[in-house]
Amino acid sequence: MTGRDGGAALAPIEGAPVVVLVRPQLADNIGACARAMANGGLFALRLVAPRDGWPQDKAWRNASGADRILDAATVHGTLAEAVADLHHVFATCPRPRHIIKPVLTARGAAAELRAVGARGLRAGVLFGPERAGLDNDDMAAADALVRFPLNPAFMSLNLAQAVMVVAYEWWLADDGTAPRRLMTNETRVATKGEVENFLTHLVAELDGCGFLDNLPKRPGMVRNIRHFFQRGEVTEQELRTLHGVVTELARGRRGQ
C-alpha cells in the first residue's frame, strides 16, 4: 500500500501480547507476520520448531523493514517452553471440534488481551502451521480459542492475515479515532454564518443574471440550492473558492 517506513522506531509496547508461531513452515510467512505485527503495534515474536530452521534470510526480505521484530524473535523447541512464562494463552483456530473451551472473536480476544496486559500479566496468541493449523494438544495449552467470524464459504486464511487481524484488533481496542471526520488540513470547517454569506452572494448573482426570474418557482429553487450547499461540511477555503467561482461566472456573463 505504501513504501517502507524503515521500522527504526519499532519497539515493544508495554502490555502487548506475544505472538507465538507454532511449527511455521515458510520463512516468507514469518517475515509477513512480523510486518503485520508491526502494523498493529506487536513486537515479541516466538517461533516453536520452525520447519526450515532459524534464522532465514527470506523472512527479513519479506518483512518490509520490520527487522527489529525478527532480530528479537526467539526460537523454542516445544510449545510448552514457549509459553512457560505467560499468564494467559489464546489459540487461533478456524474450526475447533470436540473441544470444550471458551471461544472468542478476534475483537473479543483483543479486549481481553488489553485487560490482561493492563493488569501487568503476560499474554500470548498462538498461530498454527500454514497447512494444518494448531493440533489438539496445542489447543489444550490455551485458556481460550480465537475464531474469526469470516465468510463460511471460504475460511482459508493466510497465516500473516490471521496475525494481521489479531494485531489490528489489538491496536484498535485502544484507539479512539472517530469513525468519520472531515480532514481540512490548513483550513477549517466553515461556520453557518460563512455558508449563509456565500448563499446570499450566490442568490444575488442568480437574481442578477435572471436565473430566478420565475417568481412563483423562486422560493423552491432557492431552497433547493440552499439544501445542496448545507448537505455536508464545507470548509472556509472551499467557500472562498466558491465565492470566486460565482463572481467570475457572473462577470463573464455580464461583459467580456
Question: What is the footprint of a copy of itself within residues 101-120 (CB under 8 A)?
Answer: 101-105, 107-108, 111-112
Q: Alpha-carbon distance 237 to 187, whole Å?
A: 6
Under 8 Å between Cβ of 169 and 106? yes
Binding residue (CB under 8 A) for a copy of itself from 55, 94, 218, 221: 94
CB 160 within 8 A of CB 30: no
The SS3 of residue 47 is strand
In whole angstroms, the minimum distance from the beta carbon of 8 to a copy of itself comes to 9
Q: Compute the C-alpha angle 138/139/141, nearest 5°.
A: 75
Residue 231 in contact with a copy of itself, rule: CB under 8 A: no
CB of 172 to a copy of itself, least distance (A): 6
x/- string (CB under 8 A) for a copy of itself, residues 23-52?
---------x--xx-xxxx-----------
Three cell numbers at 147? 475464531
Residue recorded with cell 494448531: 134
User: Of the listed pieces 1-9, 77-85, 211-219, 247-255, which binds a copy of itself according to CB under 8 A?
Assistant: 1-9
Residue 253 CB, nearest approach to a copy of itself (Å): 28
Stretches 73-81, 185-193, 194-202, 216-224: which one binds a copy of itself (CB under 8 A)?
185-193
Q: Which long-range contacts (CB under 8 A, 24 or more apart) does 249-255 make?
A: 249/205, 250/205, 250/208, 250/209, 253/209
Site for a copy of itself in 127-146 (CB under 8 A): 127-128, 130-133, 144-145
Cβ atoms of 32 and 167 within 8 Å: the answer is no
Return the residues of window 155-184 that contact a copy of itself according to CB under 8 A.
155-162, 164-165, 168, 171-172, 175, 177-184
Q: Which residues pair with 124 in a beta bridge?
A: 18, 89
Nearer to a copy of itself, 86 or 239 (CB): 239
**Taking the CB of residue 59, how many other CB atoms lie within 10 A of it?**
28
Size of the site for a copy of itself (CB under 8 A): 80
Q: Which three cell numbers stand for residue 36?
A: 503485520
Nearest CB to a copy of itself, comparing residues 150 and 250: 150
